[in-house]
Amino acid sequence: MNLSDLREAIRVKTGYPERGASGTTRLNSAINYALRHLWGDMPEALLREELRFPMIVARETGTLDIVANDVRAFKVNLSAGTLTDDGTLDGLWLEVKRGDSYILRRIQKVVLSFTPTGETTAADYIVIDRPWINTTDTGLTYRIYAYEYPYPADVQKIRNIIINPETNPREMLETMFPEELDRWKIGYGWRSTGRPQKYARGDYFVLDPPHYTPQVSLATQQAVAAPVVYMWGYDSSGAEQTDYGVAGTFSYKVVHVWGRQNIQTFRGVKQARYMSASSPASSQISTTWGGGAITISTPNIDYIYMNNKDSGEVSNTSSGYEKWIFRARHEIDETVSSGTGSVYPDVEKDEIYYLWKVIDGSTTTVYDRGDLDPVDRRTTIKDLHGHFHLRFDRIPDSAYNILMNVVRRPPVLLYDTDAPRLPPECFEALTELSASYLLGDRDGDMNRKTLYYTSYMNELARLKRIYSFSGHDSPSFGDGLGSSPRFGIADYPVEEST
């Protein structure tokens, strides 16, 4: 059952609410609220999912010199090509040894082959999240590593973690409370490396969301200052490209992203390490084939976040934050004003925000001319607030594969075709609980609320009887005699009387 079917089932059951936009909105809110409640009551066997990620091996090559005029940047003294600027090091920890002490900073961004003010040769730099303690340190040894690993924001609970399941499937890591893990690391070495054996939940991190709204407009088709054409369906030289997406009406949202995990996803873009909540939606804008391309304008967040207005310094445009722009299609324009038009007119105006383009934080203007269609329909905007982390007892000495068995948070049903990630047996419980919220909370009739809530509890008890055990296996003592069904009464010898 999708959202539309659930609404109709509740209307048949209760006769409420009234039809129309206000009644549909009220009913959608009750269904989503009930879904969150039901999600916490159901057996976890219905919600279990698997996630995988590789661990990160520490890097400790060369030395660091603080940049005297830019105390948020270290010059890296090592051979070129050792570090990478593809985002996989952004957001990790920089452990710097100064005398007998170790000082930690987060890596905002790695900048390669940069020549700052006052320097004559290019070098590689690491920009950090907080200023260094002085302007003179040189020759410092360091280590880049993952102190803790973020997991997706919609993960509610971790059931267990297995390390390298394909090569050693019986090795399950021991879970600990954070304070227990701290005591363990103090006793066995806080900086020790090796094969992790224990884990605990780490800190909760929230990346600041955009506080601006993307501005959209139609571009002038022929640029004045340069021979660049901005037309929908045409490349920058003015040549028609019939494999571009069909025009129409669109709106855009922006999500800030910091760091990437070494997992390839959309068009070579690696999976995000941290994602913020989204910006408000831009206004809707329409264009036609051969009409003006759509201009999307956003602020320079590198300048905003780095507190450095000297363009000659490393940290000026090095926040490490990216803008992921999501686009929703509201209408399809099938008219062709010139040429042959798009050969892909059969698209869907589902009004869902899918990932359209990834740009750097300092980029302020991009153009949508249909060249990036189709969008990445696997990456949509979710209700994100922040990320919890996993901490391990050791820094890994190899890129071990981690398998997590998790329970995700319930999806938010926004569109009529959205369906909860639940088997059909759960729909009756969901409709009963939704009716309880809808009727009892609306008119204050506790008897009517109790009627539907009691029915919900009966349905929940039925679900627990069905799914309390893994799959459809018989539980222990299922035959009343043995701990396994194969030791039933028929398996025991019977002595015949003489």
* Confidence bin at 481 (pLDDT 50/70/90): very low
Q: Tokens standing for 181? A: 């893990």
Please give the model's pTM, rounded to 2 decimal places: 0.84
Q: What is the pLDDT of residue 340?
A: 81
- For the chain, the straight-line distance linking the first and the last C-alpha, in angstroms and rounded, comes to 65
Q: Calculate mean pLDDT across residues 196-225.
A: 88
* Confidence bin at 120 (pLDDT 50/70/90): confident
Closest CA to 77 of 89, 94, 60, 92: 60
The whole-angstrom separation of Cα 24 and Cα 413 is: 13
Lowest mean pLDDT among 30-44, 125-139, 435-449, 456-470: 435-449
Q: Calculate mean pLDDT across residues 354-366.
A: 93
Burial code of 443-469, b = ≥16 C-beta within 10 A, e = fewer? eeeeebbebbbebbeebbeebeeebee
- The answer to whether residues 316 and 309 touch, using CB atoms and an 8 Å cutoff, is yes
Lowest mean pLDDT among 338-342, 346-350, 371-375, 458-462: 338-342
Q: What is the pLDDT of residue 294?
A: 96
* Confidence bin at 386 (pLDDT 50/70/90): confident
* DSSP labels, 106-127: EEEEEEEEE--TT-SS-EEEEE
The whole-angstrom separation of Cα 325 and Cα 366 is: 10
- For residue range 300-316, list pLDDT tens digits in order: 999 888 876 776 788 88
- For residue range 412-427, list pLDDT tens digits in order: 888 888 888 888 888 8
Q: Please say if the pLDDT value at position 440 is more than 70.
A: no
Q: Calculate mean pLDDT across residues 122-131.
A: 92
* Type of residue at 161: I
- For residue range 63-112, list pLDDT tens digits in order: 999 998 888 999 999 765 678 888 899 999 999 999 999 999 999 999 99
Q: Please say if the pLDDT value at position 241 is more than 80.
A: yes
Closest CA to 285 of 219, 352, 186: 219
Q: Tokens standing for 376? A: 């990445």
Q: What is the pLDDT of residue 368?
A: 96
- For residue range 246-271, list pLDDT tens digits in order: 999 999 999 999 998 877 666 667 78
The whole-angstrom separation of Cα 125 and Cα 77 is: 9
* Confidence bin at 153 (pLDDT 50/70/90): confident
The upper half-sphere exposure of residue 478, i.e. CA atoms within 13 Å in the direction of its Cβ, equals: 10
How large a percentage of the chain has pLDDT more than 90?
45
Q: What is the pLDDT of residue 442?
A: 59
Q: Is residue 172 helix, strand or coil? A: strand
Q: What is the pLDDT of residue 26?
A: 85
Q: Please say if the pLDDT value at position 359 is more than 90.
A: yes
Q: Please say if the pLDDT value at position 170 is more than 80.
A: no
DSSP H or E segment with residue 321: strand 321-332
* Type of residue at 189: G
Q: Please say if the pLDDT value at position 276 is more than 70.
A: yes
* Confidence bin at 227 (pLDDT 50/70/90): confident
The whole-angstrom separation of Cα 425 and Cα 329 is: 34
For 129, phi then psi, to 5°, come to -80, -25
* Confidence bin at 279 (pLDDT 50/70/90): very high
The whole-angstrom separation of Cα 159 and Cα 127 is: 37
Contacts 24+ apart (CB under 8 A), 260-263: 260/86, 260/87, 260/88, 260/90, 261/53, 261/88, 262/54, 262/56, 262/88, 263/53, 263/54
The whole-angstrom separation of Cα 208 and Cα 385 is: 9
In this structure, the number of other CB atoms found within 10 A of the CB of residue 35 comes to 21
Q: Calculate mean pLDDT across residues 53-63.
A: 90
Spans of all domains in the chain: 1-47+421-470, 63-147, 150-206+391-407, 215-380
The torsion defined by the Cα of 433, 436, 439 and 442, in degrees rounded to 10, comes to -100
The whole-angstrom separation of Cα 23 and Cα 29 is: 10
DSSP H or E segment with residue 454: helix 446-467
Tell me the pLDDT of the chain averaged across its residues: 85
In this structure, the number of other CB atoms found within 10 A of the CB of residue 272 comes to 26
For 465, phi then psi, to 5°, come to -65, -35
Q: Calculate mean pLDDT across residues 399-409.
A: 90
* Confidence bin at 127 (pLDDT 50/70/90): very high
Q: What is the pLDDT of residue 81?
A: 60
Q: What is the pLDDT of residue 463?
A: 85
Q: What is the pLDDT of residue 126?
A: 94
Closest CA to 111 of 312, 281, 278: 312
The whole-angstrom separation of Cα 201 and Cα 391 is: 6
Lowest mean pLDDT among 153-157, 407-411, 441-445, 450-454: 441-445
Q: What is the pLDDT of residue 410?
A: 87
The whole-angstrom separation of Cα 432 and Cα 443 is: 17
Q: Calculate mean pLDDT across residues 28-53.
A: 87
* Confidence bin at 169 (pLDDT 50/70/90): low
Q: Is residue 147 helix, strand or coil? A: coil
* Type of residue at 250: F
Q: Please say if the pLDDT value at position 149 is more than 60.
A: yes
Q: What is the pLDDT of residue 145?
A: 95
DSSP H helices, 234-356, are 301-306
